[in-house]
Amino acid sequence: MSLVTRFAPSMTGYLHLGHVLHMLYVWGIARAKKGKVLSRIEDHDLARSRPEYEQAILSDMEWLGFFPDLGMTTSNALVPSPYRQSDGAAFYEDKLAKLVEEGRVYGCECSRKEILSNQKKGPGELCYSGTCAQKKLPLKGHTVRFRCSDNEVTFHDLARGECHQMPKEQCGDFSLRDHTGQWTYSFCCVCDDIRHGINLVIRGQDIFSSTGRQIQLFEKLEAPAPDYFHHPLLFNDTGQKLSKRQRSESITQLRETGISPEEVIGRAAFAGGLLSEPHPLSMNDAMALNYLELKGDGDNDSSSILQRINP
Ligand code: GLU
């Protein structure tokens, strides 16, 4: 079975240097393994997503030289597509119906304020305590929650080795759809990875903690979970992760200064530790670097990330 991975940016802002580093990992691994890259428009967040980001992101990808083998490109931007989440409601409904049939979901009427007031103090994300789990509320008009199992999830990350997560303790029964009918990130992401045949998920370490709960969804939807590689992120001078919300300098802004794609790729590769000196680098030259020969830190395994990918 050949490798299919994906580039799945959210439509809540423009691309920044962190995305360029991410694309170097995604395309680098796919090329080295003779696999395919699919590009997907993650616009499940209807309040924050904007169509102009879709156009700009696809244009910036192509300007940099990252062309996907499947999915969205500038030539099919903004037309209905199975590779865009806001067009995927029928598929998500179908997958939700399967979970409903198996009694894996329930309606919840708790407000964020109520959930917050039930929290144990301490670091970590918001954890739902299951207040509505037995109330049998209708799904329509309520938050739809997934009954996660009590089990620990064990999975393998190409960089970290064997990993363990307890979704029940991390986030509790998490939401698949909010009371307004908007689908959530984890549900759309798992449904899409199923419909797009993704067998390797390459993404930043910031999303690592969602992996266990997503694997529980794959299991209940009777689909094989993909393999995972969570790569390092880029940070700004104050130690914050580069992000759209922080309004990190965008590729669109950099393009307006007359910079070349090679300079942008060189900057991202240097900032991400893939180059020891900053210098311009084309997308094709970047693919020839041996950064994927880097060793993971898990399992005392001395093989490289690439050697750990099957086939
Ligand atoms: N859309 C997410 C992001 O831009 C990526 C989600 C994923 O790779 O699972 O951060």
Domains of the chain: 4-86+193-306 (3.40.50.620), 90-177 (3.40.50.620)
- Asked whether 9 lines ligand 1 (CB < 6 A), one says yes
Ligand 1 atom with minimal separation from the 9 CA: 4
Nearest CA to ligand 1 atom 8: 203
Distance CA(239)–CA(241), nearest Å, equals: 7
189 lines ligand 1 (CB under 6 A): yes
State how far the Cα of 173 lies from the Cα of 106, in Å rounded to an integer: 9
CB 13 less than 6 A from any atom of ligand 1:
no
The predicted model gives 234-249 an average pLDDT of: 70
Residue found under tokens 């992996």 = 211
Is the beta carbon of 10 within 6 A of some atom in ligand 1?
Answer: yes
Residue 193, both tokens: 């990875």
Contacts of range 80-86, beta carbons closer than 8 Å, 24 or more positions apart:
81/41, 82/195, 83/38, 83/39, 83/40, 83/41, 83/196, 84/40, 84/41, 84/43, 84/54, 85/40, 85/41, 85/42, 85/43, 85/44, 85/183, 85/188, 85/192, 86/41, 86/43, 86/44, 86/46, 86/49
Ligand 1 binding pocket includes 38 (Cβ within 6 Å): no
Is the pLDDT score of 49 beyond 90? yes
Q: What is the C-alpha separation between 153 and 169, in angstroms, rounded?
A: 12
Ligand 1 center from residue 9 Cα (angstroms): 6
> Can you give the pLDDT at residue 235?
77
What is the pLDDT of the chain when averaged over all its residues?
92
Atom of ligand 1 nearest to the CA of 203: 8
Tell me what the mean pLDDT of segment 33-47 comes to. Answer: 96
203 lines ligand 1 (CB under 6 A): yes
307 lines ligand 1 (CB under 6 A): no
Three-state DSSP class for residue 56: helix
What is the model's pLDDT at position 296? 57
What pTM does this model have?
0.94
Digit-coded pLDDT (tens) for 212-232: 999 999 999 999 999 999 999
- Percent of the chain whose predicted confidence (pLDDT) is above 70: 93
pLDDT at position 93 over 70: yes
Ligand 1 closest atom vs CA 19: 4
Amino acid residing at 129: S
